[in-house]
Structure formats: structure tokens, C-alpha cells
Structure 1
Amino acid sequence: MVNPTGRVLSQRKLNTNKSDYGHIFVLAASRGLSGAGVLCANAAMRSGAGSVTLGIPGSLYPIVAKRVFLEVMAKPLPETGQKTLSCRGYRKIFDFSQKASVLAVGPGLSRNPSTQRLIRKIVSHVNRPLVIDADGLNALAGYLDILPGNAILTPHPGEFSRLIGRPVEYIQKN
């Protein structure tokens, strides 16, 4: 198989199963931003993950379950009144994350205060590699000291600006 850069990707061995290719737990989506979670989970599946679970506010389940690839598992979680992930779901998220190879946090999660607290609690306590994007990054503005060494941040200039407290112009010049 050849990827767009022309490099040859290795073929998977015939005698393997999905657990050989990792389990990605994606925490994403909120009311009005369910597509962000769907895109992230589907991309994780296409990247070659063995399995993907998408953790979402419970009320979004009927919407999201129809849009994700059939192989993606949607996991309804406790939500706030604004249909965002709630801190009340922390224990469920923490326990489930222990079965995952990596945790992706942020796309479409919102800036709801309860959700932002939940994100910070997850980042500081879940002992798994993390990929943090979008609202996951916004939750970390002013809290970079809680970042573990196994975190990958994917900010655009606006998010990076909020993270380090510098204007976007500074980010783009440097």
C-alpha cells in the first residue's frame, strides 16, 4: 500500500486482531458541535486504530450513532443542562480510559465551566497518552503545569495564543 507521500505502508499481518492495533477513546462533542466528535472518531478509525470509542453527552447519542462509522462505539456519558460533558461523568471516563491505549480530548467539547473542569481533571489524572485539541486546549489556558509528558497538543494559532497568553500575531510571526 502506498500513502500520498509515496512511502510504502507496511501490510498488516494476517494473524492479528483489533486489539493488536490499539484502542482510542475520544472525548468530544456537545450540542451544536456533534460533528467535531464524529470527524475525530472516524479519522481515528481510518488512521488504523483497532477500535475507537467516542464518549459523548448522553443526549447526543441518537445523532452521533447515525453518523459515525459502524465500527466506532458511541458511549453516552453524563451531561450538563447545556448538553456538554459533565464533571459527574469523571469516574466513568477515568475507569473506561484505563482500557484505552490513548485518549483524544477536545473536539467540540465546549467552554462550559463544568466541562472545562472535567477536561483538566482528566488531563491531570488519566495515565494514558493524550492528544489534546480544540476545547481541550482551551480548558488548559492557565493550567499548563498539569500537562503530563505524554501529551500531544494540536493548537491552531488562536488556541495557541490562549494557551501561552500571547497575541495571535506573535504566534504567527514566531
Structure 2
Amino acid sequence: MNNALCRRPLSFEFDKKDPPPPFKLMNRVTAVILSLTLLHCAYGEPVTINHDQVQPFAQPEPVTISEKAAVKFKPQLSVIDSCVSFPVVNAAGEISGGLKPTKKADGCTESPMGSQVYGRASWYRDLWAIVYAWYFPKNFRSDGPKGRHCWASMVLWLENPVLENQKLLGAFSEIVTGSG
């Protein structure tokens, strides 16, 4: 592998103090970036396969309080004149190649192997946040397809996942456009 970043030795120093919540979130972002870099170093470029050949992961039976809350509040998508969501990575680590931005929603109006919702949950500033993400093989705007790959995400804010009558405090959604 010719990537200079992969050949540099990595060293870490950990402070025993508990950092404030925004710093914890930044550490998580840094950890994700570092993990992806290390995976790239170890395995090289991922294998890309056709968007309709990616086998989704089965949803496990929710066991923990966090998992039960995530399934209970999982949003449902309503897609009109656009692509439906598809899985983006399979158990072998192969990833979707997406679709060229041509012919409206051709090739992505149904996901033959099923869809995939990606999610994580954690405490942030005394609130419980559940993040959901969906992948689309074409990027759409109001005037039609604009590129390959698109992600939509939603964060739901709860009082506490342990409470029997959980209260939804807010929601935020975003669409991240992809490349051509």
C-alpha cells in the first residue's frame, strides 16, 4: 500500500479526566475516521458491486433498552418519484457502486434484496439521541437525478430510553448529496 498515512506509527495518549460532551462527540468522530483509515490500510480499496446485489443485514431481535427504543421509534420513509433506500455494504465488506444520474428513478424504484436502516444511539447533554441513516444509489433533487450516492439521516431526541412512556423531544433530518 503506497498510502503514507498507513505507514506512520500511531501513538495515543489518554487523559483520565472525563472530557465534556462536545469533546466526547469529537472523539467519536475522530475514532470513526481513524478506524476507517486503519481498515483502508489493512484491506485496501473496498470491492464495489452493483447496487442491487448488496445483501442487507437482518435486523437483530432488540434486546437492550437502546435497541428496543431504536426499533420503537424507527422512522418510515415515504419515497415519491425518487429512489428507494438500498443497503450499501454487505457482510463481506463489498460496497454499492451506486447508479449513474440518468433516466429519472430507473433502476432504483425497488430494492430486490430489501432495504437497510443504519443506526446508533447514545447520550448527549442529558438527552438520548438515536441516529438513523439510509443510503440511496442515486442523488435526487427537485429537477431529477444529480449524481451517484446519497445519504439521508435523522436524529431523534428522547428524554430517556428507560422510561416506560418515552417522550420524543425533537427530530432533525438531513440529506447529504453524493458524487457524479
Q: TM range, normalised to the smaller chain? A: under 0.3
Q: TM-score scaled by structure 1?
A: 0.26
> Which is strand-richer, 1 or 2?
2
Point out the structure with max Rg over C-alpha: 2
Q: TM-score scaled by structure 2?
A: 0.26
